[in-house]
Structure 1
Amino acid sequence: MGVSMRDVLNLDIMSEAVVHTGETGLDQRDIEWISVIEIPVENFVRKHEFVLSTGIGCEDHPAIFRSFVQDIIDSGATALMIATGRYVSAIPQEVLKLAEEHDFTLIEVSWQTRFSDIIHRVIQLINEENESNRNRVEALRQALVTSVLNGCTLEELMNQLYYAIQIPVAISDDEKNIRANCDFDADIIAALNGERDIAVEQLVRPDLPLTEHPLYHHLNQYLVGEKTCYELTIFSNNKKQGYLLVMPKSAEELNWFTMHALEHGLTACALYFLTENAVEKTEIRLKDNFVLQLAKDDTPLDAKMLSKGELLGYDLTLPYACIVGDFQLKEVETDWDDYYDQPGQSSLHSLNYYVQKEITHASQQLERKTMSSFDEGEVIIFLEIDHTGYQETVNHFLDMVERRLHDQLAHVYFAWGIGLHANGMRAFHESYQEARTALDIHTDEAGFGDRTFFEETKVNRLLMNIADNQALIDMVRETVNPLIEYDRKRQTDLIHTFMTYQKFKGNVSQTSRALNLHRQSLLYRLRNIEQLTGLTLVDADDSFMLELSVRLWLLKQFK
């Protein structure tokens, strides 16, 4: 799109011009400037330039004339016009043959034709075309921005851009998944999406026209099999949002107008993503607040709440189990601030993003509805379940979440509490309370890295209700304090050793395997426990007394 050689030859001042060679394809031969040059050419001629010459210095020297024309051709000029009659009586045959071989446009005019008149008319034509292109680009800019503000789709945006530049275009997200395209090659789309085994190679030096548009410095060129496409990165809020892809037949199509159109296309796409992100953030915030209200406010599940949930895409009439998760670094000596200061580590916000992503993935795979939120590091999930065998559904769901999170967050692990209170107007709030209680009991008792269902905490909840007796408090302190003090001084974990021993009903082999201890090391620890507490582990009453004391201690009743 610009001034073509055909447009110049149609000027009235060029009516007597004779085109000797390169007459075919005059409509595709663009002119960006016009100049007068004589020998030597050197580097004074630019690409897409219309060159005028009198041939001075070439008279009676066909070889010099031929070399002069060769230099003009090599410079990338669009055409050469020779004024004959003063210095050159006729264009030599070897020069005509050279131009013919290169399909180069060689024109002859008479000496009486004034170069200044030609230059004036051609520059006027170029300026008129440039002004027209500027108006078209401005109209395109306004149309693209208006479309985004009016809520158009990415597909509609690409159609507008394609209609303006007549070059296949596509847009992808930041992971290079194509979101919209217009006449873009299906093989390239499939290759970029990883759906076909086609080699994709990024060129170190893109093949670009010799133009000064600043956007050229941001173009990446890819070879996809034997095909080529160009890529521009879309940024908004200093964050990469996606890519704008174009597939011209040749680099020559990336002219002034096309590059300005692509520049405005980038701006419109950035505005689209900015608007989309704002809408998504608003929706996420509304959903987060709604789920938090369900969980933490003692709000009746009335018609108003049901209607609000429906507007947000939630069906509150389904049965849900509540899952409350908390996370912690595996290395106790490393805190969160130190962890995030390490290269490549994400913020707490990003951690929530990863968790939310896997919650969504697991719910889709299991075809179960979920509602989730995050509150000061606490993950709250309501998972659709069947009333019978719901624990299996919950475990399957958490298995999927943790399996994928482990690859991304290897230094973080989770503890989960699960509650189910399926009846009543406050079922969601009661389910959350049960899940939170189960999680608190579990993390107090056994640390992070496991799951606790509320119905499995009956013993601990019973202990919590009897823990106010002062005599019992004194007995617990007298029994457990020696173990606590020993663990503190020797950096051991006798309490965990004892609880594991009880879990395996006094089986030494199973306990040593679970603790990754040699059998003799375990027996040494057990003897220490007996000596420190004055209790005998093989005695049922002593063993019960010690387990009761430890359980009450772990519930933080006497610390």
Structure 2
Amino acid sequence: MQYTLQDVLTIPLLSSAKLLSGEERIATQVVDSVSVMELPVEDFVRNNELVLTTAIGCGNNTEVFVSYVKEVFLSGASALAVAIGRHVHYIPQEVIDFCNINNFPIIELPWEIRFSDIIKIILEQLNNWEQTSTIKADDIQRELLKLYLDNESIDTVLRYLSKDFQMDVTLTYNDVFEICERHDQKESFILKKEEPSIVHLNSGMFMQIIPIHLLNQQYCFILFKSKKLNASPLSWLVLNQIVTILTLWIQKERTFYQNKEKEINDYIKLLLNGNWSEKEEFIKQGHKIGIDVEVPYVCVVGIPEKVEEFYHLYKKDKSKESEKDFIRAFSELVETSAKKINKKVIYTFQKDLLIVFLECKVQDASQDVNCLLNLLDEHVKENRIPSISWGIGENHAGSLTFHLSYKNARTALEIGRSQKGAGSRSTFASTGIYQLLISLTNNTFSTELMHDTIGVIAAYDKNNGLDLLHTLSSYIIHQGNVSQTARALNLHRQSLLYRLRKIESLTNRSLNDPDDIFLLQFCLKLWTVRFEKKETSNII
């Protein structure tokens, strides 16, 4: 364990010393050295140094005393010990208040205790601690190397460290770490890549955070969280040995997983295209990489919405690194959500598309997919991932029909997003009418009929500033009820009747004739699909 201020205060020589502030910090306040420092402080105090002082020069000037203590605190000192009796007779309350506010330990020493005696004992203890830490570091290094050579997993290493140090040990690739110590309270921390640090939790526990620098300017973090109050931090010497071995381990596992990830993505591309020759061999290849293709799946395709706004919320740029963070976070959420509903899942990312295959039975396909998407929507509400538009394909329930379900999901996404807007959820079945209309947009007769009816209304709207198209749409939606249509459009009844007569005269169709109403509705939908599709055809 690390040598701390708590170890210093247990020295028999300091039995008469009084701790006036920062009591909850002494167990984790590291002490690396000790020195005597009077005014001025300047740059002579080192980080984690116990400072001894007579406070000469402060005298009875409380303002100077507070300023001196503030400089010592800002220098990163572990604590300040003030000899009382010759130059100062007491520590002013203003000084103690400053120390309490900043949780900085200040100690009152009797004048009779010699600084040289304190320094001698602390240096001896630091030397003993360093020797003990070196032995512990060597032991840890040997054990970790043994596990490394035995090809044990990272999880095995983390369990070993957790048991050996009696601490919770976590490895994370995210620079924002969230911890929930109670069901109603969460704490979030931004992990610093520059240097190791200690974070004090609201529960009184602490967490040591050590950044690990990987290749390609990437980082991960290993976190050690105490399990009991008044526990001491681990020695940085020991932690450095752990990080040295873990770096090799992580690089090896990352290379393995990157190769496996590439193999899986290549395999999924074949699924999406339906390109395989030997069925049995293809199934065996899937089993080798953990993909079972012999059960029915339904495809869900999504596209993140307002990604720039999402990254702006977290003050990030939409860079390659932040996109990797999103993919990593989304992968974890998909896997976690699939486990909650006890279903197998296959997923990949292609450009801006999220492609998910969810195992499901034919009769439960809709329910299973909506359960998965509902779980993901919960994370959208928590701003962990951006809003996503989804297209849901058909579950063909056949063997190796992934490419058909994927094609349907893409169609459902494109049409549903253009008709319902961003953040919508559409099934292939629900877009049937739009698929029919889209197929008719290339038919010459349908196009001419559409322009002869709806085209003349649109032209009149453009030239006269009316909105007869919206009026017609609302009239059809309300099934020809004039009163309901007038209320929906916030129009006087006579104004609505004028517009309806104008529509009849422009189209030469009667709004009292069911066949004409059907024709107008058909052409209106065709018009909407044709021109909205032009605007959204480049989305995917």
Structure 1-normalised TM-score?
0.58
Does the residue aligned with 2:358 lie in a helix, a strand or coil? strand
Q: Distance in 1 between matches of 2:400 and 2:121?
A: 83
Residue matched to 1:293:
270
Residues 1:382 and 2:362 are matched in the alignment: no
Asked whether the equivalents of residues 234 and 270 of structure 1 are also in contact (C-alpha less than 8 Å), the reply is: no
Out of 219, 227, 242, the position equivalent to 2:198 is: 219
Out of 466, 476, 490, the position equivalent to 1:518 is: 490
Residues 1:316 and 2:293 are matched in the alignment: yes
AA partner of residue 359 (structure 1): V
Question: Measured at CA, do residues 384 and 170 of structure 1 come closer, stay the same or move farther in structure 2, by a change above 3 Å?
Answer: closer
Does the residue aligned with 1:397 lie in a helix, a strand or coil? helix
Residue matched to 2:446:
472
Question: Measured at CA, do residues 300 and 389 of structure 1 come closer, stay the same or move farther in structure 2, by a change above 3 Å?
Answer: farther
Residues 1:261 and 2:238 are matched in the alignment: yes
Moved more, 375-384 or 347-356: 347-356
Q: Distance in 2 between matches of 1:219 and 1:539?
A: 78
Matches within 5 A, 1:195-344: 195=182, 218-222=197-201, 224-225=203-204, 228-229=205-206, 231-236=208-213, 237-245=217-225, 258-299=235-276, 302-329=279-306, 340=311, 344=315
Asked whether the equivalents of residues 388 and 423 of structure 2 are also in contact (C-alpha less than 8 Å), the reply is: yes
Asked whether the equivalents of residues 200 and 206 of structure 2 are also in contact (C-alpha less than 8 Å), the reply is: yes
Q: Distance in 1 between matches of 2:148 and 2:484?
A: 65
Asked whether the equivalents of residues 283 and 293 of structure 2 are also in contact (C-alpha less than 8 Å), the reply is: yes
Q: Distance in 2 between matches of 1:201 and 1:379?
A: 27
Does the residue aligned with 1:219 lie in a helix, a strand or coil? strand
Out of 440, 460, 464, the position equivalent to 2:414 is: 440
Q: Distance in 2 between matches of 1:407 and 1:199?
A: 13
Asked whether the equivalents of residues 323 and 417 of structure 1 are also in contact (C-alpha less than 8 Å), the reply is: yes
Q: Distance in 2 between matches of 1:353 and 1:512?
A: 51
Residues 1:408 and 2:388 are matched in the alignment: no
Deviation readout 1:170-206 (Å, 9 max, x if unpaired): 4124499xxxxxxxxxxxxxx965257899999xxxx
Q: Distance in 1 between matches of 2:183 and 2:305?
A: 40
AA partner of residue 395 (structure 2): L
Question: Measured at CA, do residues 389 and 538 of structure 1 come closer, stay the same or move farther in structure 2, by a change above 3 Å?
Answer: farther
Asked whether the equivalents of residues 298 and 426 of structure 1 are also in contact (C-alpha less than 8 Å), the reply is: no
Q: Distance in 2 between matches of 1:479 and 1:305?
A: 54
AA partner of residue 430 (structure 1): L
Q: Distance in 2 between matches of 1:451 and 1:401?
A: 12
Q: Distance in 2 between matches of 1:300 and 1:503?
A: 51
Matched residues, number: 428
Question: Measured at CA, do residues 409 and 316 of structure 1 come closer, stay the same or move farther in structure 2, by a change above 3 Å?
Answer: same
Q: Distance in 2 between matches of 1:270 and 1:464?
A: 55
Structure index of larger Rg: 1
Out of 333, 338, 345, the position equivalent to 1:370 is: 345
Asked whether the equivalents of residues 362 and 400 of structure 1 are also in contact (C-alpha less than 8 Å), the reply is: yes
Asked whether the equivalents of residues 320 and 385 of structure 1 are also in contact (C-alpha less than 8 Å), the reply is: yes
Does the residue aligned with 1:234 lie in a helix, a strand or coil? strand
Give the fraction of aligned pairs with identical amino acids, expressed as a percent. 20
Deviation readout 1:40-70 (Å, 9 max, x if unpaired): xxx9xx989xxxxxxxxxxxxxxx9xx9993
Asked whether the equivalents of residues 241 and 273 of structure 1 are also in contact (C-alpha less than 8 Å), the reply is: no
Structure 2-normalised TM-score?
0.59
Distance apart, 1:401 and its partner CA: 2.9
AA partner of residue 373 (structure 2): L
Q: Distance in 2 between matches of 1:490 and 1:242?
A: 68
Residue matched to 2:170:
172
Q: Distance in 2 between matches of 1:280 and 1:296?
A: 24
Asked whether the equivalents of residues 323 and 419 of structure 1 are also in contact (C-alpha less than 8 Å), the reply is: no
Q: Distance in 2 between matches of 1:460 and 1:369?
A: 32
Deviation readout 1:359-408 (Å, 9 max, x if unpaired): 33432232222222222222322222222253343334333333432442
Residue matched to 1:549:
523
Residues 1:72 and 2:49 are matched in the alignment: no
Question: Measured at CA, do residues 161 and 356 of structure 1 come closer, stay the same or move farther in structure 2, by a change above 3 Å?
Answer: closer
Does the residue aligned with 1:233 lie in a helix, a strand or coil? strand
Asked whether the equivalents of residues 344 and 359 of structure 2 are also in contact (C-alpha less than 8 Å), the reply is: yes
Residue matched to 2:427:
453
Residues 1:151 and 2:138 are matched in the alignment: no
Does the residue aligned with 2:181 lie in a helix, a strand or coil? coil
Residue matched to 1:10:
none
Deviation readout 1:489-514 (Å, 9 max, x if unpaired): 8999865775565455445787789x
Q: Distance in 2 between matches of 1:491 and 1:337?
A: 35
AA partner of residue 151 (structure 1): E
Segments of 5+ residues of structure 1 without an aligned counterpart are 3-20, 23-31, 34-42, 49-63, 81-121, 177-190, 203-213, 330-335
Deviation readout 1:326-350 (Å, 9 max, x if unpaired): 3444xxxxxx667756653674555
Asked whether the equivalents of residues 454 and 527 of structure 2 are also in contact (C-alpha less than 8 Å), the reply is: yes
Deviation readout 1:493-545 (Å, 9 max, x if unpaired): 865775565455445787789xx753659948767755664544443222222
Q: Provide the alpha-carbon RMSD of the alignment.
A: 5.5
Deviation readout 1:141-197 (Å, 9 max, x if unpaired): 46546644643444545646986xxx5444124499xxxxxxxxxxxxxx9652578
Q: Distance in 1 between matches of 2:380 and 2:227?
A: 38
Asked whether the equivalents of residues 321 and 384 of structure 1 are also in contact (C-alpha less than 8 Å), the reply is: yes
Segments of 5+ residues of structure 2 without an aligned counterpart are 3-11, 14-31, 34-43, 52-85, 87-108, 535-540
Question: Measured at CA, do residues 502 and 338 of structure 1 come closer, stay the same or move farther in structure 2, by a change above 3 Å?
Answer: same
Q: Distance in 2 between matches of 1:370 and 1:307?
A: 18
Asked whether the equivalents of residues 200 and 224 of structure 1 are also in contact (C-alpha less than 8 Å), the reply is: no
Q: Distance in 1 between matches of 2:354 and 2:483?
A: 37
Does the residue aligned with 1:419 lie in a helix, a strand or coil? coil
Residues 1:418 and 2:393 are matched in the alignment: yes
Does the residue aligned with 1:71 lie in a helix, a strand or coil? coil
Does the residue aligned with 2:362 lie in a helix, a strand or coil? coil
Moved more, 139-148 or 298-307: 139-148
Distance apart, 1:262 and its partner CA: 1.8
AA partner of residue 479 (structure 1): T
Moved more, 425-434 or 463-472: 463-472
Distance apart, 1:79 and its partner CA: 5.4
Q: Distance in 2 between matches of 1:201 and 1:436?
A: 37
Q: Distance in 1 between matches of 2:138 and 2:434?
A: 72
Distance apart, 1:417 and its partner CA: 3.7
Does the residue aligned with 2:152 lie in a helix, a strand or coil? coil
Question: Measured at CA, do residues 497 and 421 of structure 1 come closer, stay the same or move farther in structure 2, by a change above 3 Å?
Answer: farther
Q: Distance in 2 between matches of 1:409 and 1:328?
A: 13
Residue matched to 2:98:
none
Does the residue aligned with 1:440 lie in a helix, a strand or coil? helix
Distance apart, 1:410 and its partner CA: 8.8
Distance apart, 1:472 and its partner CA: 2.9
